[in-house]
Amino acid sequence: MSVPTLVTGVARTAPSAVSEAYARVAEVFPSLSVRELGAGERVPHGDGWVAASRLAEGGADLETFLAWDEAQVLRDYGQQARPDVIAGFGLHRYAWPACLLITLPWFLLRRVPRLPVSDVTFQRTLGRMAVRVDSFACLPDDPAATMPGARVVADEEALRAEVRDAVAAHLQPVLDGFRPRMRRGPRALWGMATDEIVEGLWYLAHLLGEEQRAMTELEQLLPGTTEPYVDSAAFRELTGPNGESLPTRDRASCCMFYTLRPADTCVTCPRTCDADRISRLGATTTG
């Protein structure tokens, strides 16, 4: 699925071991801002803010959250979408930035925050997230290893395991909350989670000028054998009409956008043939 549509917000931060990474998000992708909550600072509420824990409950707050997607589809496409499609859109629009809260500090700083659903709040229309970072994993030679809340792990593979575990711990209850509306089993939902991890970091790394490194590290993070995740990062390379390299991947899940526009598939959708990918990626590169 495409990058979620968000609106620029302004972050106020309480510095932590991962603050630098969150600041970089706002610099290269100003449609998303992350505010770190200090000790004792109240979680934002009202005015469109929703706690991840409330989405995980699957109740009235989730209904309100998905009503935004339903109204957006009706406004933009002039038709109603199936309830399971709406739920998929809503899950994507939360999970895409939520995964970045964990993967970007790992990619930029080699630090992996633990963020239970109780510590993340989202304002989707303004593109704001509020988080409370109490603990993080890091490598032995990291200067942050002596900071409060630091958990030192042995090596890079152990740190990758921390990324996988931290994302899974955050997303599992959220997936449980969305699942009754999704009409998909656990494997399909974890396929979506796999795609959110890969495509979110891939996109941000492109903006940071580090796309190739991100692709290499995502392949190591998700080699295809790490449950509950489904499939590997699944990158591959196509060749453009002038011999240029056009990186792509095959999604592990389907965003179901084809139910609204059958001819308009995502460039990484398994339904999109390589000829169409080359045409579309080549046009983007030229542009």
pLDDT digits (tens, 9 = 90+) for 232-246: 999 999 999 888 999
Report CA torsion sign: 175, 125, 69, 284: negative
pLDDT tens digits, one per residue of 64-117: 999 999 999 999 999 999 999 999 999 999 999 999 999 999 999 999 999 999
Per-residue pLDDT band at 285 (split at 50, 70, 90) = low
Higher pLDDT residue, 181 or 39?
A: 181
- Residue 195 CB burial class (10 angstroms; 0-12, 13-18, ≥19): buried
Say what the pTM is.
0.91
pLDDT at 227 over 50: yes
**What average pLDDT does the structure give for the chain?**
91
Count of all residues that appear for the chain in the document: 287
Considering only CA atoms, give the Rg of the chain: 19
pLDDT at 10: 35
Most confident range (mean pLDDT) of 31-40, 154-163, 181-190, 255-264 is 154-163
Averaged pLDDT, 184-212 = 96
Integer Cα distance of 253 and 234 in angstroms: 12
Beta strands in the chain (DSSP E): 33-36, 49-51, 111-113, 120-123, 128-131, 136-138, 150-152, 235-239, 245-249
User: Left if phi > 0, otherwise alpha if psi is -120 to 50, otherwise beta: which for 267?
Assistant: alpha
Report yes or no: 37 and 43 within 8 Å, Cβ to Cβ. Answer: yes
Integer Cα distance of 141 and 143 in angstroms: 6
Per-residue pLDDT band at 211 (split at 50, 70, 90) = very high
CB atoms within 10 A of CB 76: 10
